[in-house]
Amino acid sequence: MDLYTKLLTKQAKLSVIGLGYVGMPLAVAFDKKDIAVIGFDLNSEKIDLYRQGLDPTFEVGSEALKHSKIFFTDAAISLREANFHIIAVPTPINIDKTPDLCPVENASVILGRNLSKGSVVVYESTVYPGVTEDICIPILERESGLKCGQDFLVGYSPERINPGDKVNRLENIVKIVAGLDSSTLDIVAKVYELIIEVGVYRAESVKVAEAAKVVENSQRDINIAFMNELAMVFDKMKIDTNEVIKAMNTKWNALKFYPGLVGGHCIGIDPYYFIYQAAKLGYHSQIILAGRKINDGMGQFIADAVIKELVLANKKVIQSKVYILGITFKENCPDIRNSKVTDVITRLQEYGINPIIIDPWADVDETASEYGLKLDTLEDIHDADCLIFAVAHQEFKNLSLDKIASYFNSQLPQEEKIIIDVKSILDKYAISQKGYRYWNL
């Protein structure tokens, strides 16, 4: 009986290593297909929440966890009970923008020490081409004493989950799958086909699958960088970038990208993995690196625009009361990893401004731990000189003009009340008619 059949008949178990925005939806999806799932994470606090049926990521929802049969654990020895393993840990970058492979290496060490003969290991973590074969497999072999291709098999299937997206979900995004040989590819494809309704794409090799992931995010990064560059130029031309985009999008082949802060754990990081490996091979990226430079500089550009508006409104910059609405890397999502809003904050602090941060989605403790920032609530806003709408959370979109008005010092002249609309979520014309000083990206 092959491993696929054993999984279907619960004679074998599947483990998901790393229970974040990627791993948790995978674990729940396989659980719903009546596969015996072991959910492993080193974070004991997170495991406790999952055992209570609480989902801090909001990706699957607490209700789904309460009804799941997933065995949540932080005990690595439990991995010995599984034979199909999916590693879904983050792959961040170091301060110098080089890949930080520590999470995926550590996960390989942990699994290697608990790997059984006949197992299949699939990596979902985003890496540059060659990491799975050149770095991960040797670790698995060293720690387990087993031989890849003989005692265990290895595949790769890059994660494509879009955190916070309730339309493009795990089950309706085509899954790229790859294996070191045809038999591995076949079992990996069959297992993922259990949960992916739109099917899988069988890549020609593991390296092709690894490359596909970093390239698809690099492509988005470059396109957003182009729009960001246009936004900076149009700002000098006194032209509204969004009005230009609306006009441009009337053509059928317009790509519909928009300017903004590019953070998160994919688009703002993956290009550096590609750049790093290319440089090791003697090629120094021009387009991708230029795009990264533009996008990494947008926080400073926005902060400088804030300072300019404060000066033009006759404010004493260092005494100005500035609120930033949003700290997560994207809307309607609690994920604060690699948030570029922090670049805006850092730049404002250089001018002596300590902005007050509001975010109903972000976790208070996590934000304090990660960035040393305190979170306030919408109810705490008062006597503002400037409101910066940095993230397009629905709670911010729903604010009425009257509510926004209540956040400012009523004694201020309208032209001294500043609204910075980074994501262009407000009605520009309605706000302008009220006399506010308004700027959007």
Query: Within this chain, do residues 170 and 65 fall inside the same structural domain, yes or no?
Result: yes
Distance of CA 399 to the CA centre of its chain: 26
CATH number of the domain encompassing residue 267? 1.10.1040.10
Q: Catalytic residues, which ones?
A: 266
Domain range holding 262?
Answer: 205-296
Query: Within this chain, do residues 175 and 214 fall inside the same structural domain, yes or no?
Result: no
Residue 50 φ/ψ, nearest 5 degrees: -65, -40
pLDDT at site 165:
72
CA-based torsion, 400, 406, 412, 416: positive or negative = negative
Mean pLDDT of the chain: 95
> pLDDT (tens digit, 9 = 90+) per residue, 344-360?
999 999 999 999 999 99
Tokens standing for residue 141:
């072999």
pLDDT at site 293:
96
Query: Within this chain, do residues 15 and 131 fall inside the same structural domain, yes or no?
Result: yes
Whether the pLDDT of residue 3 is over 90: the answer is yes
Percent of the chain with pLDDT over 90: 91
Query: Within this chain, do residues 292 and 308 fall inside the same structural domain, yes or no?
Result: no
Whether the pLDDT of residue 164 is over 80: the answer is no
pLDDT at site 59:
83
Choose the final residue of a domain: 296, 311, 329: 296
Query: Within this chain, do residues 41 and 54 fall inside the same structural domain, yes or no?
Result: yes
Number of domains in the chain: 3
> pLDDT (tens digit, 9 = 90+) per residue, 112-134?
999 999 999 999 999 999 999 99
Query: Within this chain, do residues 72 and 193 fall inside the same structural domain, yes or no?
Result: yes
Query: Within this chain, do residues 194 and 234 fall inside the same structural domain, yes or no?
Result: no
Query: Within this chain, do residues 105 and 178 fall inside the same structural domain, yes or no?
Result: yes
Query: Within this chain, do residues 67 and 9 fall inside the same structural domain, yes or no?
Result: yes
Query: Within this chain, do residues 319 and 340 fall inside the same structural domain, yes or no?
Result: yes
Q: What mean pLDDT is predicted for residues 26-50?
A: 96
Choose the final residue of a domain: 203, 227, 260: 203
Of all helices (H) and strands (E), which one includes residue 380?
none
Query: Within this chain, do residues 191 and 209 fall inside the same structural domain, yes or no?
Result: no
Confidence of residue 255 (pLDDT cuts 50, 70, 90): very high
Q: CA 137, CA 108: separation in Å to the nearest integer?
A: 8
Roughly what angle, to the nearest 10 degrees, separates helices 270-280 and 287-296?
Answer: 140
Choose the final residue of a domain: 160, 188, 203: 203
Closest to 388 in 3D by CA, of 433, 317, 429, 327: 327
> pLDDT (tens digit, 9 = 90+) per residue, 397-432?
999 999 999 999 888 999 999 999 999 999 999 999
Give the number of C-alpha atoms closer than 13 A to the C-alpha of residue 416, restricted to the C-beta side.
Answer: 15
Q: Which residues contact 424 (CB under 8 A, 6 or more apart)?
A: 242, 258, 440, 441
pLDDT at site 63:
87
Residue 224 φ/ψ, nearest 5 degrees: -70, -35
**Rg (Cα) of the chain, in Å, rounded?**
24
Cα 209 to Cα 124, 132, 185, 389, 391: the distances in Å are 10, 11, 12, 37, 32
CATH number of the domain encompassing residue 327? 3.40.50.720
Q: Which residues contact 285 (CB under 8 A, 6 or more apart)?
A: 274, 275, 278, 279
Q: CA 194, CA 131: separation in Å to the nearest integer?
A: 27
Q: Which residues contact 350 (CB under 8 A, 6 or more apart)?
A: none
Query: Within this chain, do residues 239 and 374 fall inside the same structural domain, yes or no?
Result: no
Q: What mean pLDDT is predicted for residues 146-159?
A: 97
